[in-house]
Amino acid sequence: MSLNPFSGYASGVPFSAASSTVTEAFDTNTGAQWFNNGKSGWRPANSAFDVNNQLAITAELTTHVVTVPVTGLYRVSGLVVSTVATSGTMPTITVTYTDADSAVAQSKVLLTGGTSSASGTLVEGETVINVKAGGTITFTGTAYATTTYSAKLRTEYIG
């Protein structure tokens, strides 16, 4: 099955949200795959629709903001790894968003960076959050101190 390429969220493709046929599309901006089951409109496929890699960082993590396309549950995950053998502290990464049901701003620690003295030291974490369509998920890093690291952040729509 070939995918229909488009740029931006699936609303930009030439198929209505209420299309009666099952269709798939590929977002050329983010690399995300979308599908329309003919009943509930366009949804991102259960794969990472937002990927953010920050490599060889020697300062605080660059804030990363994701705008979610549909209301639902999202799995956010992250990993930081020390890339040099120096003593220092990798960042703690926090995720902030507004809960879809309560409309209350939430903040969750995704992962707590630790002290690193060897290349390859890694810290990882994931959590599930509920975000309303058009809401944002913001990844921020704090507590960085004198090390070089890489960070990989993912956002997945899970329903």
What pLDDT, in 10s, does the model give residues 84-140?
A: 888 888 899 999 999 999 999 999 999 998 888 889 888 999 999 999 989 999 999
What pLDDT, in 10s, does the model give residues 7-46?
A: 444 444 444 445 455 577 766 665 666 777 666 666 666 5
Which residue ranges make up each domain of the chain?
1-45, 46-157
Question: Selecting from 2.60.120, 2.60.40, 3.30.43, 1.20.120, what CATH number does the domain 46-157 have?
Answer: 2.60.120
What is this structure's pTM? Answer: 0.73
Provide CB contacts within 8 A for 39, sequence distance 6+: none
Residue in the block written with tokens 């799995």: 75
Pairing of strands 4-6, 23-27: parallel
Asked whether residue 68 carries a pLDDT value surpassing 80, the answer given is: yes
Q: Which of 140, 139, 147 is nearest to 114 (CA)?
A: 147
